[in-house]
A and B are shown apart, each in its own frame.
Chain A
Amino acid sequence: MATPSYSEITHNGLWKNNPALVQLLGLCPLLAVTGSVVNAIGLGLATTAVLACSNLAVSLVRHQMPETVRLPASVMIIATFVTCAELLMKAFTYELYLVLGIFIPLIVTNCAILGRADAFASKNPVLPSLLDGLMMGAGFSAVLIVIGAVREIIGRGTLFSDMDLLLGPIAENWTLPVLGQDYSGFLVAVLPPGAFLVAGLLIAAKNAIDAGIERRRQAEVNIVKGSKRVRTTGKIQ
């Protein structure tokens, strides 16, 4: 398999092969911690960091790894970086660490990370692997943040609440009451069913956009200058 170009890797990670919307990997954190934007950003950053580092490391040692222990070795590498991320979060964003709880150590089992390590990093050179990790992480984080924002707005009527957990005292007053102060909250959005609904609607939206692009491309292909289509059946449009 030839190494894809950098623009291809970027397009794959952010859109075409988005881990959350297309591969449907890492659904557990995606659904569980996207109740607010700050949670989504926190988990997104941690996941992206782990994804990029583990892709880099796996790619570096890809020629030394015997086929038989490829998966266990990848898991060990990922676990190392997750532990690093966990300790860093404990040190610098302790309150957010408490909110995210078990989902930080659980990044180890996020199949998006093992999937990229195995499917991409173990077969490709270092730089493309690093970029792939970054872009997959960015695509995953973007979806996390969109779901978090939608659920926070609908469920609680606010945006960027509790951002000080991540950014410190500067962000204490960032909470935007998008839907007004006396909005009582549509609780189903912050409860688990809301996560499934919003994720499903996002996937539908992505598919609709793709279908629209495809239709436009088809339409451009069909029109040939100076010729007129002849149809013998049906209605001429």
Chain B
Amino acid sequence: MSLMRVTSPHAHSGQSTAKVMLQVAAATIPGVLALVIFFGPGVLFNIALCTGTALVTEAAVMKLRGRPVGFYLKDYSALVTALLLGIALPPYCPWWIPVIGSVSAILLAKQLYGGMGYNPFNPAMVGYVVLLISFPVEMTRWVAPAELIHGTPGLGETFSLIFGNMNVDGFTRATPLEIVRHNQSTILAQLYEMEPMFSKGNIAGVGWEMANFGFLLGGLFLLFRRLITWHAPLAMLATLALLSVVFYDGGSSLSEGSPLLHLFSGATMLGAFFIVTDPVSGCTSNRGRLVFGAGVGLLVFVIRAWGAYPDAVAFAVLLMNFAAPFIDNYTLPRTYGHKAARKATDLEEQ
């Protein structure tokens, strides 16, 4: 009989990082599918370029740091980072946008801080923000859904948009959030009738609502598989909904947009289920996750309504990443045998 000495934990769910990451990747399928159906295959090119660059960067850094390359590539964390960045980028952007973004995400945000599990900021969001502040023109041109223009770019056009000099302006329109943001003089009910983006959709703009619905489905799958907890997403969505109810003011021309618009447009659902739930850069305890999610929801609404950018998930997540260690300190769970929870800083003083 062989007696193996195994250290605790003795019971675990059988998950490994690689398995979790692959399931997260699979959960993005409905959302990506919706993006492809409404905005054409541009997002797939983004994902391919991001994934390729991210894996090459990760391998190169591992080689430089003298770590086993294959072992770290096989945990698929770089793949998920690249996937989320690729989804967040505007489709049909020039090829160097995803390349620079993925290098920033993997090299600056992840590996310079120590690699997998050590990054204080969400790598995909760092990559996105680096691009957004560096190349505002390229990063704010979203193609319109196929229904609103005579079809999205074909395959040849896609290539010349991404690798050639073709300008994407002929295919772009304002996004739903931008339309409501720049609306000064029309009451919302009228705007929804006039603007084909809304009149041809159901609640929050053609294409956008379905993409968000897709990411919601994927998020529910992650919840069902217990890969994420409900705390952070629910706190974020509830805060966002509550604030948009407060500032809806019945839909006047100065309205900040309906709750449904805020919940189902922009990057809300992608952020709520795939970004805010990041176990590394987010909070650790359930109470902490509630605070973290609520903070993200608050910042998303504040920046969308009164900030300089139409969407805000990336900025909100990065700002809350700063606060995560602080929140963790005050939301330490009560340990078994103690009457009350204590602060982490108090424990260190003893």
Contact = CB atoms under 8 A, between A and B. Distances in A.
Contact of B133 (A184, A191, A197): A191
Contacts of B135: 184, 186-187
Most chain B Cβ neighbours within 10 Å, of A186, A187, A188 = A188
Interface in B91-136: 100, 108, 130, 133-136
Tell me if A's interface is mostly helix, strand, loop or mixed: helix
Interface string A184-211: 1111110101000100000000000000
Interface residues of A, number: 9
B108 A197 contact: yes
A41 to B, nearest CB: 25
Contacts, number: 17
Contacts of A188: 130, 133-134
Interface residues of B, number: 7
A187 B134 contact: yes
A187 B136 CA distance: 9
Contacts of A184: 135
A185 B135 CA distance: 8
Nearest to A204: B112
Contacts of A186: 100, 134-135
A33 to B, nearest CB: 19
Contacts of A191: 133
Contacts of A197: 108
A184 B100 CA distance: 14
Interface in B61-110: 100, 108
Interface string A146-185: 0000000000000000000000000000000000000011
A201 to B, nearest CB: 9
Nearest to A189: B134
Nearest to A185: B134
A191 B134 CA distance: 9
B112 to A, nearest CB: 8
A43 to B, nearest CB: 24
Interface in B202-220: none
Contacts of B108: 197
A181 B83 CA distance: 33
Contacts of A189: 134
Nearest to B112: A200
A186 B134 CA distance: 5
Interface string B121-162: 000000000100111100000000000000000000000000
A168 B136 CA distance: 34
Nearest to B138: A184
A186 B135 CA distance: 7
Interface of B: 100, 108, 130, 133-136
5 contacts: A184-B135, A186-B134, A187-B134, A188-B134, A197-B108
Interface of A: 184-189, 191, 193, 197
Given A187-B134, A187-B135, 15 more contacts: A184-B135, A185-B134, A186-B100, A186-B134, A186-B135, A187-B133, A187-B136, A188-B130, A188-B133, A188-B134, A189-B134, A191-B133, A193-B130, A193-B133, A197-B108
